[in-house]
Amino acid sequence: MQELIIDINAICHTFSDGYVGIKNISVSISKGEFIILAGKNGSGKTTLLRHLNGLLLPDSGHISVNGHDVSKHLIQTRKTVGMVFQDADTQIVGDTVFDEVAFGLENLKVKRAEINKKVTLILENLNLFHLKDRSPSTLSGGEKRKLAIAGILVMDPEVIVFDEPFSNLDYPGTIQVLSTIINLNQSGHTIIIATHDVETIIYEATRIIIMEKGLIKEDGEPDSIVKYLESYGVKEPCSSKFGLGLQPWLP
């Protein structure tokens, strides 16, 4: 049996305007899993993701990451669970690619020499080192998304959560980001991706969770769930529709 990394137990969250974000969600996530969190817009995917990183705290129920209660160990949680947001433009805070990746480590008061070493290593691993002095605003969509991933990776998280990682990306950008995500999972990171378009990644996933109106409606392996996707407003991949099963999206 795989080791548990995130344990969500009966959490509910209602926003200040009375809108119910998620209701009575319970789910366990093991190390190394590749999970797709699918559902229509407004189904509660982003709200659930933000609880994993401690950006939102549940009104009731509790979440633990590596056995620690998220609400009591926020910094530890954010080091363990990195989050890549949907809009890379509003996530990037550095003036240069290098500064952007260094931001998280500076917040953790890591020594400058170690920051320089770690940032260089991550930039080289993600093939971004040649852009280190560029302003992030001048990068392509795919490069910006990879930069956002680098900014998270440098903090050495075990789980990486992506909110709609392929939105607004062209084909080469999508390939760049998808390859990076697959490599991360193969190197042992637990991946959780919230999306309403599963076609690109369903082949790589080990599990799909479908949400609707703040509730988990389905949870299982992609092969067993794929035929129910459209009943929850998520498009079934073409290959599955044409009877070819799940096919890899990367060429």
Among 4, 12, 27, 55, binds another protein (CB under 8 A): 55
In this chain, which of 33, 99, 204, 212 binds another protein, going by CB under 8 A? 99
CB 10 within 8 A of CB 25: yes
In 134-169, which positions are buried (b, 16+ CB within 10 angstroms) versus exposed (e)? eebeebebbbbbbbbbbbbbbbebbbbbbbbbbeeb
Structure tokens at 46: 């982003």
103 forms part of the interface with another protein (CB under 8 A): yes
Nearest distance in Å: CB 117, another protein:
13
Say how many C-beta atoms besides its own lie within 10 A of residue 90's C-beta.
8
> Both tokens of residue 95?
């003036």
Name the one range near another protein by CB under 8 A: 15-23, 79-87, 183-191, 225-233: 79-87
Quick check: 228 binds another protein (CB under 8 A)? no
What's the token pair of residue 78? 């954010």
Stretch that binds another protein, among 5-13, 77-85, 199-207, 235-243 (CB under 8 A): 77-85
Q: Print the binding letters for residues 190-219 with another protein: x by CB under 8 A, - otherwise.
A: ------------------------------
Q: Which is nearer to another protein, 83 or 208 (CB)?
A: 83
Residue 162 interacting with another protein (CB under 8 A): no
Rule CB under 8 A: which of 117-156 touch another protein? 135-137, 151-152, 155
Is 47 among the residues that bind another protein (CB under 8 A)?
no
Cβ proximity of 162 and 186 under 8 Å: no
Task: Return d(Cα 71, Cα 12) in angstroms, integer.
Answer: 14
Which residue among 112, 117, 227, 241 contacts another protein (CB under 8 A)?
A: 112
How many Å apart are CA 92 and CA 84, to the nearest integer?
10
Can residue 95 be called a binding residue for another protein (CB under 8 A)?
Answer: yes
- Are the C-beta atoms of 63 and 70 separated by less than 8 Å? yes
Rounded Cα distance, 233 and 39, in Å: 7
Give the containing element (helix H, strand E) for 30: strand 20-30
Neighbouring-strand partners of residue 215? 212
Answer whether 105's CB lies under 8 Å from 98's CB.
no
For another protein, which residue of 34, 85, 162, 166 counts as binding (CB under 8 A)? Answer: 85
Is 105 one of the binding residues for another protein (CB under 8 A)?
Answer: yes
According to the binding rule CB under 8 A, does residue 160 interact with another protein?
no
Among 90, 171, 187, 242, binds another protein (CB under 8 A): 90
Residues forming the site for another protein (CB under 8 A): 50, 53, 55, 75, 78-79, 82-83, 85, 87, 89-96, 99, 103-112, 115, 135-137, 151-152, 155
